[in-house]
């Protein structure tokens, strides 16, 4: 398990691994939004939490279609399936590595980009907290989507469509928590919901993903 | 270690390919599968390896015993030879990769990235993976593709060493490896069209 995690991290960080793709996308979205909606500080401050959350979500989605597809194409997935590792564990570990290389950098860079969107000072801490709570669920749900579409050529489109509805609760509560904090309201309720969703996803999705992967490998 | 295949029917995409296949394999022996292209050797091997369910019959003694090698070697181009091999060793709970490197003459290439290897070198690395798994049953699908004569001899030696340690090998191949192996021709077991009804494949 640890070997797989370390290998996935190494592959992501080396040339051609795709590390930074999500980060660059997030940066582009957030930098371009003020140009497209106009230079109104009040408007930007109002949409900042939503834009940051949406950017993070799409950046996360961008790199997901390669999560299992690479291992499928070079045969490693078949070999992992015959190894002592349970497929549930394989998917969970790969989702974890995806989070560390995609979700975690987004969490860390979000406050910096918040400045560009004139995010209210009170919102920064909760924005980071909500992203830290929510992005693991995005990676795990995405891994489930990747398991569903593994083996399909250009499966990224289908995967996005399958995964997006499952992303909605995380997006709603994550953005709501950041918005409430930015307006000086108490963000505890949406944060608790967000934590609950992530907890449930992390508990259930590895098994669902393992099961569909087994079907898809046949 | 003892593999028993009883009255096995296998299919690909819901279409039965082979039916009524029975054979046994014990430690220290090798079994070579023969048959023309498309005769179902790969499907049979995938079923034995547990990657797909049999349509009928049973495979006993293979679970958690199989090291499987197919046409794709599962190598990562960005990792070095040693890193690729060490990864698979630790997945299978092993540490030592030196015997595998030696068996397939890869010692000079340990620090080379797998993406820079030739096709034959990649294949040798893929086969070296079998050694580091320490699993008793090797299931090999066309292991000698893109290997030269010297490498085929290396591979045959590795299989012999594996058998000497009590391991078994199930090999689908078209060439003569020079192994003291039993031959199993799958051609007579070819399923008649429509012989076995497709199970739930239509829904999946």
Does residue B50 sit at the A interface (CB-CB below 8 Å)?
yes
- Residue of chain A with shortest Cα separation from B69: A79
Residue labelled with tokens 């005769």: B39
Per-residue confidence (pLDDT) for residue A53, from 0 to 100:
94
Q: What is the mean pLDDT of chain B?
A: 87
**Domain that residue B7 falls in:** 1-65+175-204
Q: Considering chain A, what percentage of its residues have pLDDT values greater than 90? A: 64
pLDDT digit string, tens, across residues A154-197: 888 899 999 999 999 999 999 999 999 999 999 999 999 999 99
Q: Considering chain B, what percentage of its residues have pLDDT values greater than 70? A: 94
Residue B187, classed as helix, strand or coil, is: helix
Look up the ipTM and state it: 0.85
A74 contacts on B by Cβ (under 8 Å)? 72-76
- On whether residue B8 sits in a domain, the answer given is yes
Whether the predicted model's global pTM rises above the 0.95 cut: no
Output B203 or A108, whichever has higher pLDDT: A108
Run of H or E including A4: helix A2-13
Domain positions in chain A: 2-217
- Residue of chain B with shortest Cα separation from A15: B78
pLDDT digit string, tens, across residues B90-136: 998 888 888 899 889 998 998 999 989 999 999 999 999 999 988 99
Question: Domain total for chain B?
Answer: 1
CA B8/CA A175 separation, integer angstroms: 55
B204 contacts on A by Cβ (under 8 Å)? 215, 218
- Judged by CB atoms closer than 8 Å, whether chains meet at A217 and B76 is answered as no
Residue A214's Cβ-count burial label (10 Å; 0-12, 13-18, 19+) is middle
- Judged by CB atoms closer than 8 Å, whether chains meet at B93 and A84 is answered as yes
- On whether residue B164 sits in a domain, the answer given is no
Cross-sheet strand order for the sheet of B15-26: B15-26, B2-12, B56-60
A17 contacts on B by Cβ (under 8 Å)? 78
Please, how many CA atoms are within 13 Å of residue B37, restricted to the half-sphere of its CB?
Answer: 0
**CB B181 within 8 Å of CB B30:** yes
Output B196 or B187, whichever has higher pLDDT: B187
Residues 7-36 of A with CB under 8 A from B: 7, 10-11, 14-17
A141: Cα separation from own chain's centroid: 8
Looking at residue B20, which CATH number applies to its domain? 3.40.50.300
Per-residue confidence (pLDDT) for residue B194, from 0 to 100:
58
pLDDT digit string, tens, across residues A23-64: 999 999 999 999 999 888 899 999 999 999 999 999 998 888
> How far lies B138's CA from each of A97, A104, A110, B16, B199, in Å?
30, 40, 50, 25, 29
> How far lies A208's CA from each of A50, A165, A205, in Å?
30, 16, 5
Count of A–B CB contacts within 8 Å? 76
Burial A20-58 (b: 16+ CB within 10 A, else e): ebbbebbbebbeebbeeeeeeeeebbbbbbbbbbbbbbb
- On whether residue B44 sits in a domain, the answer given is yes
Of B50, B90, B93, the CB nearest to A82: B50
- Residue of chain A with shortest Cα separation from B132: A83
B37 Cβ partners below 8 Å, 6+ apart?
none
> How far lies B113's CA from each of B79, B142, B147, in Å?
5, 24, 19
- Judged by CB atoms closer than 8 Å, whether chains meet at B74 and A14 is answered as no
């Amino acid at each position: 398990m640890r070997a797989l995690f370390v290998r996935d991290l190494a592959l992501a960080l080396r040339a051609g691994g795709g590390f930074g793709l999500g980060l660059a996308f997030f940066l582009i979205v957030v930098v371009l939004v003020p140009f497209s909606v106009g230079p109104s500080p009040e408007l930007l401050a109002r949409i900042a939490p939503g834009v940051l959350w949406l950017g993070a979500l799409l950046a996360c989605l961008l790199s997901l279609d390669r999560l299992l597809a690479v291992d499928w194409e070079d045969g490693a997935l078949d070999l992992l399936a015959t190894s002592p590792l349970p497929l549930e564990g394989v998917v969970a570990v790969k989702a974890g590595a995806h989070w560390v290389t995609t979700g975690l950098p987004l969490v860390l860079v979000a406050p910096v980009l918040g400045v560009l969107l004139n995010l209210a000072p009170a919102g920064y801490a909760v924005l980071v907290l909500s992203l830290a709570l929510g992005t693991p669920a995005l990676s795990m749900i995405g891994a489930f989507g990747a398991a569903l579409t593994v083996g399909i050529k250009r499966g990224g489109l289908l995967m996005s469509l399958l995964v997006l509805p499952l992303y909605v609760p995380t997006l709603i509560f994550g953005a709501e928590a950041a918005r409430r904090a930015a307006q000086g309201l108490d963000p505890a309720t949406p944060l608790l919901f967000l934590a609950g969703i992530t907890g449930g996803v992390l508990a259930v999705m590895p098994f669902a993903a393992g099961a569909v992967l087994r079907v898809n490998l046949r | 270690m003892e593999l028993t295949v009883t009255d096995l029917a296998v299919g690909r995409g819901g279409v039965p390919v082979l039916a009524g296949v029975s054979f046994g394999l014990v430690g220290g022996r090798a079994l070579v599968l023969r048959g023309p292209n498309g005769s179902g050797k790969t499907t049979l091997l995938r079923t034995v390896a547990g990657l797909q369910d049999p349509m009928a019959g049973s495979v006993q003694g293979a679970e958690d015993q199989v090291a499987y090698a197919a046409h794709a070697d599962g190598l990562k181009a960005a990792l070095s030879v040693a890193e690729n091999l060490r990864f698979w060793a630790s997945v299978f709970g092993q540490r030592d990769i030196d015997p595998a490197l030696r068996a397939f003459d890869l010692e000079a290439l340990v620090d080379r990235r797998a993406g820079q290897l030739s096709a034959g070198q990649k294949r040798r690395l893929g086969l070296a993976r079998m050694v580091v798994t320490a699993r008793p049953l090797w299931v090999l699908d066309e292991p000698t593709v893109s290997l030269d004569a010297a490498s085929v001899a290396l591979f045959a030696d590795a299989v012999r060493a594996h058998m000497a340690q009590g391991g078994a090998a199930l090999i689908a191949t078209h060439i003569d490896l020079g192994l003291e192996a039993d031959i199993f021709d799958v051609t007579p077991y070819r399923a008649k069209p429509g012989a076995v009804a497709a199970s739930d494949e239509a829904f999946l």
